[in-house]
Structure 1
Amino acid sequence: MWRPDGWDVRVRIGVLTPHADVGPESELRAMAPADVGIHAARVPFGGMRRGGAMDATIPLEPVRAFAEPPYVDDAAAVVAAAPVSAVAYAFTSSAYVIGADGEARMIARLTERAHGLPVVATCAAAVRALSALGVSRIALVDPPWFDEELNGLGAAYFRRAGFDVPFHASCTLPSGQALIRPPELHDWVARHVPDDVEAVVVGGNGFRAVGAIEAMEATLGRPVLTANQVLLWAALHAAGGDTAAIDGYGRIFTLRAA
């Protein structure tokens, strides 16, 4: 007689996402078990227009501005007022632009605005996941709307974190969130990622990628980390949740956060 209504969850996670981007919520909800609540706060992002429209490549200034006060700080305070146990910053490219030190300062600032709740961010979560996997040599694949400069900043971010990045590129699929299909992403990665890397990192929280993780890992024989995947992994650990129930979205969910 009684149907599930979403109330009986063991943990809730607040998500900071660009105002016109449905990618982070879609992928997080797809991966999360039914007893994990996902609750988004939308943050203005100058690189997106109504309906999620974007230019073929996103300019760096709106990317940098997304990580700065006041909008994302206010959103963190608002979503943290809900009964959530952690806050997840669902935006990859700002960390590329401001670097790991800037990202760390942003996390500290957002933690304060979130009333002391743990805040996790995508790129820092990817570093933790790579460390948990014990890999040091990676390939970085970014969305087609990341231009060469932004992709290069991403490679620099991971190199400064201690990883060797012999291959990095923005994939040459059609540049538009709604145009990406998991089979095409799988095939592009399989064709381009070299054999001598130990793991693949797929950047971009608005990049449709989690549906291809299992197939990419099977084809490549190596772990694949995507933006929303590592964000959920880190957020669940920060919230005291369990990732063991997540199956089919990558081997990282079998590991504890460092």
Structure 2
Amino acid sequence: MRTRLGVLTPHADVGPESEIRAMAPETVGVYAARVPFGAMAVGGAMDRTIPLAPVAAFVQPPHIDDAVSLLAAAPVAVMGIGFTSSAYVTGADAEKELIDRLQSRSAGIPVVSTCAAAVDALGVLGAERVAVVDPPWFDDELDRLGAEYFSSQGFEVVSHAACDLPSNQRSINPSELYEWILAHTPGSSQAVFVGGNGFRSVGVIAALEEELARPVLTANQVLCGACCGRSGPGLHFMGTGSCSHRSGDPGPPPVRTCRSGVVDGSLPTRGTPAQDGHVASDR
């Protein structure tokens, strides 16, 4: 094994490490450190929607700082924060401050965050108009804060909503998720971002990009790509979809292109894209 990636994940969530392991090159190992998350019980059980207070508390000292110090004792090349919603609640400036604080505990090991990685990936793809899709356990306020996060980073959020699917991590059906995103993606969007590291969604990326003819990014996909990029020269993110390329390729995929079309503001669309704006949910 050539490279080891560290992931900071909620104590009862197995989604981030399993999806990142599935996308990472064969020479990469994935090792998780558990951080207490007050909205999660044994077995990953949560309320139908998660309250904002424990989301914000997840990135406050001392627990996540202590987890970084412990993980830094292992031979990992980089650490990724497998948690989307804290950046939604605290904002991009606080997210940057969090990275600086955690890197003071990481023994020089780079620390990357999910939302900042999403911003970087969207920038590489040249996407300016974004549809944001959130897990069904995000309430309207958390979803709204997610839209504000991306707006604050210079993107036009043409739609944002929590999926109207079963609010249970184990109950997410890929075909149902695919159909929901397909039906609720505005034709004016240049990319889709699926938030939530516990929201298993990487399995639908390729099919959605083929049908929507635009990049589809997910939380664990962009985090995996950012971790691979920061772990040292010569390691290429394999993954799936627009942000991926095979290990051994000379570099990342060409900027402003995706598998099914060009991100140039006039993407072809198929199916029945949604109208612009907030997608109402009857959850």
Structure 1 unaligned regions, length at least 5: 1-8
Alpha-carbon contact 2:130-2:158 (below 8 Å) kept = yes
Q: Structure 1 segments of 4 or more deviating over 4 A?
A: 241-245
Match of residue 137 from structure 2: 145
Task: Report whether the alignment pairs 1:188 with 2:180.
Answer: yes
Structure 1 CA distance for aligned equivalents of residues 73 and 124 of structure 2: 31
Match of residue 209 from structure 1: 201
Alpha-carbon contact 2:35-2:63 (below 8 Å) kept = yes
Cα deviations across residues 128-162 of structure 1 (Å, max 9, x unaligned)?
A: 00001011000000000000000000000000000
Tell me the SS of whatever aligns to 2:26.
Answer: coil
2:25 to 33, 38, 43: 33
Structure 1 CA distance for aligned equivalents of residues 105 and 180 of structure 2: 40
Alpha-carbon contact 1:243-1:253 (below 8 Å) kept = no
Task: Report whether the alignment pairs 1:68 with 2:60.
Answer: yes
The CA RMSD over aligned residues, in Å, is: 1.5
Task: Report whether the alignment pairs 1:197 with 2:189.
Answer: yes
Displacement, 1:244? 4.2
Alpha-carbon contact 1:236-1:242 (below 8 Å) kept = no
Alpha-carbon contact 1:233-1:243 (below 8 Å) kept = no
Q: Number of paired residues? A: 249
Task: Report whether the alignment pairs 1:253 with 2:253.
Answer: no
Tell me the SS of whatever aligns to 2:188.
Answer: coil
Structure 2 unaligned regions, length at least 5: 246-251, 256-283
Match of residue 161 from structure 2: 169
Displacement, 1:31? 0.8
Structure 1 CA distance for aligned equivalents of residues 175 and 99 of structure 2: 34
TM-score w.r.t. length of structure 2 = 0.85
Structure 1 CA distance for aligned equivalents of residues 162 and 212 of structure 2: 19
Match of residue 120 from structure 1: 112
Alpha-carbon contact 2:131-2:159 (below 8 Å) kept = yes
Structure 2 CA distance for aligned equivalents of residues 245 and 124 of structure 1: 17
Letter matched to residue 171 of structure 1: C
Structure 2 CA distance for aligned equivalents of residues 150 and 181 of structure 1: 22
Letter matched to residue 203 of structure 2: G
Task: Report whether the alignment pairs 1:91 with 2:83.
Answer: yes
1:46 to 24, 38, 44: 38
Structure 1 CA distance for aligned equivalents of residues 111 and 202 of structure 2: 22
Alpha-carbon contact 2:225-2:237 (below 8 Å) kept = no
Structure 1 CA distance for aligned equivalents of residues 138 and 82 of structure 2: 16
Identity %: 58
Alpha-carbon contact 2:229-2:237 (below 8 Å) kept = no
Given the superposition, is the C-alpha separation of residues 245 and 162 from structure 1 closer, same or farther in structure 2, using an over 3 Å criterion?
Answer: closer
Displacement, 1:242? 4.9
Match of residue 258 from structure 2: none
Alpha-carbon contact 2:197-2:219 (below 8 Å) kept = yes
TM-score w.r.t. length of structure 1 = 0.94
Tell me the SS of whatever aligns to 1:184.
Answer: helix
Given the superposition, is the C-alpha separation of residues 198 and 67 from structure 1 closer, same or farther in structure 2, using an over 3 Å criterion?
Answer: same
